[in-house]
Structure 1
Amino acid sequence: MDPLEDVLALLETRSHLSTGLAAGGRWAMRFDAPSGVKFNAVRRGHCRLEVDGLPEPIALAAGDCYLLTRPQRYTLRSDPEVTAVDAGPVFARATGGVARVGTGDDVYMIGGRFSFGERAQELLLDGLPPVVHVPAGTEQAQAVEWALTAIEQELQHKPLASTLVAEHLAVVMLVHVLRLHLARQPHAVSGWLSGLADPVVATALASMHDDPARSWTVADLAQAGAVSRSTLAARFKETVGRGPLEYLTRWRIELASRQLRESTDTVALIARSVGYGSESALSVAFKRVTGMSPGAYRRQSGAFPDAGGVLVGTDAGGVG
């Protein structure tokens, strides 16, 4: 696996599709702060997105989509002069999987949310801006458009297992959106995500994720990227915010944490699987990173012997 695939798998990324939205004339709706990460896609028409805390609205056109990565209230509207209504009652009256506001259906949007395991905020979301906007009409956005069209077809025609297929397609869309955002705005992300935009750092990240139990040295990682140790160390620190071996330690602790939550394996066995020669070596690193021992973490997680990641809430809204 590569680093992005690793993190999305570790976080047990899931999608949850919501009620569509048809709107026309002059209209505006105010949405509560979403749980998880919201995504909306404009399939017809155009409107404006206003997010609390952001200075400027974002103009949305047919084919555009966006992710909301923070729990901030937001408004969708036709124009700035309309008083917004609360979205909750509108979606409560939805019929046929579509909520309606205004007059007509000049605008049509589909949406949903992504839920993740309990470490999503630090591992993924903190590295992204509050809004990731993917405008239509560019060559790079074609893969996103393909996924959105496939989702819409599943929702409209409802063949067998359409919900399952559409939700998997939404995760595919998420990966394409993240790829596109990293390619177009590498400086708009931080942490390990920004490292993926640097070919030297990305090679080091991929090497560590491919074999996290290996006894990596900075020299080994620099050789993989065909640069000097000092060059790798400087570029890694500048982009990721910590040195390569510190990153490796933290990734190993993430992997060990998942095993402690989800398996009945002994701490000694888990230690060897993530690159530590003994239970005590893992315990020292684990406590340094998390502030508690592996045993205390396992007990606190409440997941022993067989629980997985904690999902963020349940889907209670529509496009919002």
Structure 2
Amino acid sequence: MNVQQADPLEDVLTLIGTTSRLSVGLVAGGRWALSFDPPEGIKFNAVRRGRCLLTVDGVPEPIPLAEGDCFLLVQPRAFTLASEPGVRPLPAGPVFAAATGGVARAGEGEDVVFVGGRFGFGERARELLLDVLPPVIHVPGGTPEAATVRWALDLIDAELRERPLAATLVTEHLALVMLIHLLRLHLMTAGSGGTSGWLAGLADPVVAPALRAMHARPAHAWTVAELAGVAAVSRSTLAARFKQVVGRGPLEYLTGWRIELAADRLRRGDETVAAIANDVGYGSVSALSNAFKRIAGVSPRDYRLASLPPRRSGPPWPAAAGR
């Protein structure tokens, strides 16, 4: 069956409003160690020169970092960067507060050079993306697959060093390019075993075609049999595999994604609830309202009112299935 396919990762990154910001660089040498407080959003660092150790709270073993390596700290956990084991860490805050020329310094010398920053997201990022990723993603830089990441880092370095016009904007966009490639590499190397939920489904050869079809046409009245045809497997195989990998059935996932799309449009615009209902696959306002209230706990109209400032931007949402 030839069915239009979409890119769920692109859909989610767009919906959650991904932004990036580079932070002060770090140069370190000799025996040194810095302890960092749990960051907001996703923290990233790349080793441009040298080697060090990364230790993350809750992760059993230290992660050796070599030149060209990157890591994403996905969960808000404290972490330490150190030249070697056994060095007593200093708090990173004062070291970065004393930075000059956009560079913080630790220890003696310039054995290790880092570039880093963080990615910010909208209110639904924790449920939609961050909770389906492992706490830390380490991407070695010495592999052919990481070539695009190295390219982005080289350009970021050049922009920061030469400071041409609009350098900040360019580096922030390059950082987003790097994030997408890091997530791609993670899916390629870890497969569905390194993630959970819908992101694990993208790495599964049976589930991925069905996911992409639903994202391409969320308003279509999909059946499990039709999605099984897209995936070229039996209805029972798709249903079981989807539940196993994603944590919920295909039609339950479709309902959740439709409600995400509806909630996003309710937060952002002044479209009528009827127009939104029609566009996300519900034939009437009452049908959307029933589904929305079942998942979000409130009606679409109440959700929109709660999204207006100065009130909080949304109601509590149930935890995603499969975690």
Which TM-score applies when normalising by structure 2? 0.93
Tell me the equivalent position of 1:316.
Answer: none
1:92 counterpart = 2:105: no
Tell me the equivalent position of 2:266.
Answer: 260
How many residue pairs were aligned? 307
Q: Residue type matched to 1:296 in 2?
A: D
Q: Residue type matched to 2:296 in 1?
A: T
TM-align CA RMSD: 1.4
1:80 to 80, 85, 100: 85
1:142 deviates by: 1.3
CA distance in 2, matches of 1:268, 1:44: 56
CA distance in 2, matches of 1:182, 1:75: 26
CA distance in 1, matches of 2:283, 2:12: 24
> Any stretches of 5+ residues in structure 2 without a counterpart?
1-5, 315-323
Write out per-residue CA displacement over residues 228-281 of structure 1, whole angstroms, 9 at most, x where no aligned residue: 111111111111010111000000000000110001011111100101000000
> Any stretches of 5+ residues in structure 1 without a counterpart?
310-320
Tell me the equivalent position of 1:236.
Answer: 242
Give the secondary structure class of the aligned counterpart of 2:206: helix
1:215 counterpart = 2:215: no
- Runs of 4+ in structure 1 over 2 Å off: none
Q: Structure 1 vs Structure 2: percent identity of aligned residues?
A: 65
Contact 2:20 2:173 in 1 (8 A): yes
Give the secondary structure class of the aligned counterpart of 2:40: coil
Tell me the equivalent position of 1:315.
Answer: none
Tell me the equivalent position of 2:281.
Answer: 275
2:158 to 153, 158, 163: 153
Q: Which structure has more RCO (C-alpha within 8 Å, separation ≥ 6)?
A: 1
2:253 to 247, 252, 262: 247
Call closer, same or farther: CA 1:10–1:303 in 2, change over 3 Å.
Answer: farther
1:52 counterpart = 2:50: no
Which TM-score applies when normalising by structure 1? 0.93
2:188 to 183, 188, 196: 183
Contact 1:219 1:228 in 2 (8 A): yes
1:28 to 29, 33, 41: 33
Call closer, same or farther: CA 1:250–1:303 in 2, change over 3 Å.
Answer: farther
Q: Residue type matched to 2:250 in 1?
A: P
1:2 counterpart = 2:7: yes
Give the secondary structure class of the aligned counterpart of 1:215: coil
2:171 to 166, 169, 177: 166
CA distance in 2, matches of 1:192, 1:106: 41
Q: Residue type matched to 2:305 in 1?
A: R
Contact 1:262 1:308 in 2 (8 A): no
1:147 deviates by: 1.4
